[in-house]
Amino acid sequence: MTISDVRKRIENDSVQAVVAESITRAKDDMHNALIEIVEDRAIDRSKELDQIDIADRKKLPLFGIPFVAKDNILTRDSHSTAASKILDNFSAPYQAEAIERLEQAGAVCIGKVNLDSFGHGGSTENSFFGPTLNPHDKRRVAGGSSGGSAAAVAADIVPFALGTDTGGSIREPASFCGVVGLKPSYGSVSRYGVIAMASSTDVVGVLANSVIDVEAVMRVVSGRDSKDSTTIDSPYDKTAQHKKRIGVIKEWFGNGVDDEVENAVTSTISRLEGLGYQAEEVSLPILESALAIYYVIVPAEIASNLARYDGVRYGNRSENNELKTMFRSSRSAGLMPETKRRILIGNYILSSGYYDAYYKKAAQARTLLLRGFTDIFDQFDALVGPVAPTSAFELGHKSDPLSMYMMDKMTVPASLAGLPAISVPVKTSGMPVGIQIVAAQNNDAALLTIAEDIEAVNS
């Protein structure tokens, strides 16, 4: 289901009918994609939209289009839980800027979708509400942490979903569920009203069934916001020159990458060459350290950002009256084991005796990674490789944290460097697989032109 399919349905019927159908599909969903359906608000909004004159509808680029949002993005008239127990009763007093912009453009939020609690994970198994199942095979994970967003689009509940990506959380589930998933340049979408994981890499992005749909949504949600000083002018308003020099990242092949993934990606690259692309292997040795850099920097930021969930201001508070005991027991009961692990690692890394050895060193290495990318983008318009070493694995298959972290090897570099990156589905005989394209910062428009070519050679 694409946005233009839904548009046609609205023209022949009404927004209310389209939104009601979407809500019915959400209620019937067998993949545990949704945490909450925002029914009353969605129906009210669609009635209002149906009153708008035909001429005025043209001014609303997403008129009547239903969507879902990851449950770490604040929405009105619903809960916003981040799939955690500590926030399972939390209703935000305001709404995220990205949601505001979508509503102003005529889109209708019908529900909040599942994730790895606070974004911590790569499979959506680490949710207080249980795992999301992959619509292509229910024995397998949907990927994560935006697994609910990817599954809702893949199961045709809605034509697009908002997700967040801190180290791969849009791209990996998009690859696993066979949908397009874009992590835009850092700062291109406001983080106002987004529950923070790691502020220096968190971005809001889009999952949809086509590159054109992703672009249509990005044009609405991106751009400066006075409530988030890290935002930039929308890189989606630029017209991109179509350039065709692509670097194939050597470090992302061989060594732990499944044959089916490697073959799917390399055959797509050959088909791109058929369209006049010049592909050349390129090596960036610091990429071998990206995972280590990420799993130092990100837990440090998590430990800081999650200190606010102490039972005092937000969500669930334990019964205990003594302050320190109350903090401890609220956090003990309300946070998932993976979240606690990251808080422990983060506080350890930031403690005075270890800061120089870990945090400072990781920050320096991150600068080297950034420089490495800058040099490479002098020679290439975009970089390509797999999104993850494998396709969707079976539920419960990666119970040890390290094997789960290894899945992030190819997605964390673009996050650490703030670069735009996208997963586009490619042809396979088995479970879906995505190819990843990475472009230089703010070259999102160029990234999308290449993504469209990849879509074309795989259709």
- For ligand GLN, which is the closer residue by CB, 217 or 410? 410
Kindly name the residue from 22, 80, 145, 222 that is annotated as catalytic: 145
CA 154-157-162 angle, to 5 degrees, is 75
d(CA 152, CA 71): 13
Q: Can residue 121 be called a binding residue for ligand GLN (CB under 6 A)?
A: yes
Single residue of 64, 66, 111, 119 touching ligand GLN by CB under 6 A: 119
Q: Active-site residue among 70, 112, 398, 409?
A: 70
Which residues inside 287-316 make contact with ligand GLN, applying CB under 6 A?
A: 298
Active site residue 146: no
Q: Could you give the CA distance from residue 405 to residue 291 in angstroms, rounded to a whole number?
A: 8
Stretch that binds ligand GLN, among 27-35, 89-97, 159-167, 395-403 (CB under 6 A): 159-167
d(CA 116, CA 144): 6
Q: What angle do CA 69, 409, 118 make, to 5 degrees?
A: 30
Task: List the interface residues with ligand GLN, window 223-262 (CB under 6 A).
Answer: none
Active site residue 8: no
Could you tell me the sign of the dihedral formed by the alpha carbons of 324, 330, 336, 337, in that order? positive
Name the catalytic one among 146, 169, 185, 423. Answer: 169
Among the residue ranges 13-21, 26-34, 58-66, 113-121, the one whose residues contact ligand GLN (CB under 6 A): 113-121
Work out whether strand 34-37 and strand 108-113 pair parallel, antiparallel, or are unpaired. antiparallel
Q: Which of 66, 106, 111, 122 binds ligand GLN (CB under 6 A)?
A: 122
- Max Cα separation, the chain? 69
Quote the least distance from Cβ 442 to ligand GLN, whole Å: 20
Tell me the one-letter amino acid at 454.
I
> Site residues for ligand GLN, window 334-363 (CB under 6 A)?
none
282: alpha, beta or left? (left if phi > 0; alpha if psi -120 to 50): beta
* 409 contributes a contact to ligand GLN by CB under 6 A: no
Cβ count near 224 (within 10 Å): 15
Asked if residue 120 binds ligand GLN (CB under 6 A), the reply is yes
Q: Which positions from 14 through 53 interact with ligand GLN, judged by CB under 6 A?
A: none
The CA-CA-CA angle for residues 282, 179, 24, to 5°, reads 165
Contact between 184 and ligand GLN (CB under 6 A)?
no
Question: In this structure, is the dihedral angle defined by the CA atoms of residues 203, 205, 211 and 217, taken in order, positive or negative?
Answer: negative
Return the half-sphere exposure (C-beta side, CA atoms, 13 A cut-off) of residue 75: 29
Interface with ligand GLN, residue 148, by CB under 6 A: no
Element (H, E) at 372: helix 361-379
How far apart are the two ends of the chain, measured CA to CA in Å?
A: 15
Selected from 408, 409, 425, 443, the binder of ligand GLN by CB under 6 A is 408
* Contacts to ligand GLN from residues 188-207, by CB under 6 A: 197
Q: Which is nearer to ligand GLN, 105 or 179 (CB)?
A: 179
- Residue number of the CB closest to ligand GLN reads 169
Q: Is 145 a catalytic residue?
A: yes
- Residues classed as catalytic: 70, 145, 169
Q: Which residues bind to ligand GLN, rule: CB under 6 A?
A: 119-122, 145, 165-169, 197, 298, 408
